Structure 1
Amino acid sequence: MPYWNEKVALVTGASRGLGLAIARQLVRQGATVVLVAREEAALSAAAEELTSLPGQAIPLTADVTSDEDVKRLEREIESRFGGIDLLVNNVGVSSRGKLLETQLADFRHQWELNVMTAIRCVQAFAPLLTGRQGHIVNIGSLASKQAARFIGPYATTKFALAGFTQQLRLELADDGVHVMLVCPGPIAREDAGNRYDHQMDNLPAEARKPGAGVKLKALDPDRLASSILQSCEQRKQDLILPWKARILFAVAQISPRLGDWLQAKFSSRRRGE
């Protein structure tokens, strides 16, 4: 019997991309998955896509940047299920830009989406997870561990998410709640290579590319979703893909200068070119 069979999961940002891929893998293994997103039509279409699978997909429209919406979600889920086994904080946004040219409003926007949504949902749903010794998964990025040039506030917020996840892991360990940070490289998507076109003024061409030009193969979202769920079953503390990125992170901790050099070396544009 699959580990996730008859378990209850909540996935934010579940109407498309990695969130939908995680929901698909869970429903395929017999889980009941609450799909959360802001756009009702897209969310309903995502749930409809999963109806032929063994589990159940329940779309609940909500804006997780809203305290009231998250409180409403918590009440509804507690009423329906009594608790949950998995919370996936997948909502997030990325951008391109130079830090000194980025408006403070853009920092606030990414802070809200990339950090506060996770904090808000964890605080709301942790009591429903504790009784089941469940899982919290925060979707970070390679930028949670190592910054790159020209990605605006993204690394700033993803580093913060990493710190939140680590402290949360330490504080919830005695309650038996598993907390994991996922740090993937660029994820394959239809608009890769042109999604930042409107932000490319005064930026080099490589900033347009996935990972801001870091030479990495795009990850398949379904494979990534499977790896995330398997790592949950093993109660791993983090998941970094591709694995070789760990080498860069370890080097950068020992020598920031060498880490910066390696970051530039494996980007499309190298210093001095």
Structure 2
Amino acid sequence: MSGILNPEILVLGAGGTVGFGVVGALLEAGSPVLAVGRDGPRMQALAEHFAGEPALELMTTGCITSDEDAAKLVANLRKRKRPLRAVFASLASPLEGGRLMDKPTDFLRRKLDMDMLPHLAAARHLVPLLAESEGTSHYILIGGPYAERGWAGYGHASITAAALRMLTNVLHEESHPLGVRVQMLSVDQPVCTPENARNACAEWPSAIAVGRHAVSLLTRTERAQPVVRFDAGRALTPPQPLFNRFPFPLSTHETNR
């Protein structure tokens, strides 16, 4: 019997706050989702929250911290033999406070190792995989706040966010000839969560709002900018399923049932 296999979309860091929102927005838009994250309570909570969603599959591979980790992920993806047309990367370590000048230099080095280099490792291996697809594919990073100005008490986060923004610009240029559109959704305010809701400002977006705007980048037809600022006006429920609007080539396959 022949069947149609829709391309799936990969979410790195799916167990994090923003990753959770991206997964929800993709499912809301009708896309099959492969959620990748470290095995633990957050991924378990993701599975429980979307337990009724047949389009969601979880892959608990641990963190991507190196080329070896990223290469292993790609090897596992190739075994699935399923088209991959987009990747969302929401990778970040827990936020730590404190004046940068009060920290040893190794503190900033460690934060760059944790918050910027994993993005490079992931992109180095996933962008070539996306390039094997027909048509334009997408690699979208989610960036945190205060990349353009110092964040008092969190200066290291401003530095790593600025580095990640420049990495996006470089990847955008280098991936264009491959037919892969690399962009960053820059979220310039903290994300409102149940834990911080009591002290959150009115303009702080929710995780699902961030996810909806990120997903909307898949259907934009205008000239792509490397860095796109979060806009609440783009954080709307999609009016129709994503696969009705996103021109994915559908692959047929045979099964012996």
Compute the TM-score of the two structures, normalised by the length of structure 2.
Answer: 0.77
Identity among equivalent positions (%) equals 19
SS state of the match for residue 143, structure 1? coil
Alignment of 1:103 onto 2:104 = yes
**Match of 1:122, as an amino acid?**
A
Structure 2 distance, partners of 1:82, 1:52, is 22
**Aligned-residue offset at 1:65:** 1.4
Note closer, same or farther for the CA distance 1:168–1:216 as it changes in structure 2 (3 Å cut). farther
**Match of 1:28, as an amino acid?**
E
Structure 2 distance, partners of 1:233, 1:113, is 31
Unaligned runs of 5+ residues in structure 2 are 233-257
CA-atom RMSD, angstroms?
A: 2.4
Note closer, same or farther for the CA distance 1:44–1:142 as it changes in structure 2 (3 Å cut). closer
Unaligned runs of 5+ residues in structure 1 are 195-208, 244-273
**Match of 1:228, as an amino acid?**
A
**Match of 1:22, as an amino acid?**
V
- Indicate the residue corresponding to 2:196 in structure 1: 192
- Indicate the residue corresponding to 1:199 in structure 2: none
**Aligned-residue offset at 1:82:** 5.0
- Indicate the residue corresponding to 2:122 in structure 1: 121
Is the helix fraction higher in 1 or 2? 1
Structure 2 distance, partners of 1:142, 1:41, is 26
**Aligned-residue offset at 1:218:** 1.2
Of 162, 170, 173, 2:173 maps to: 170
Structure 2 distance, partners of 1:107, 1:145, is 17
- Contact 1:85–1:134 under 8 Å retained in 2: yes
- Indicate the residue corresponding to 2:86 in structure 1: 86
- Contact 2:213–2:231 under 8 Å retained in 1: no
- Contact 1:35–1:47 under 8 Å retained in 2: no
Structure 2 distance, partners of 1:109, 1:177, is 30
SS state of the match for residue 109, structure 1? helix
Note closer, same or farther for the CA distance 1:187–1:234 as it changes in structure 2 (3 Å cut). same
Structure 2 distance, partners of 1:83, 1:146, is 40
Is the strand fraction higher in 1 or 2? 2
Alignment of 1:139 onto 2:142 = yes
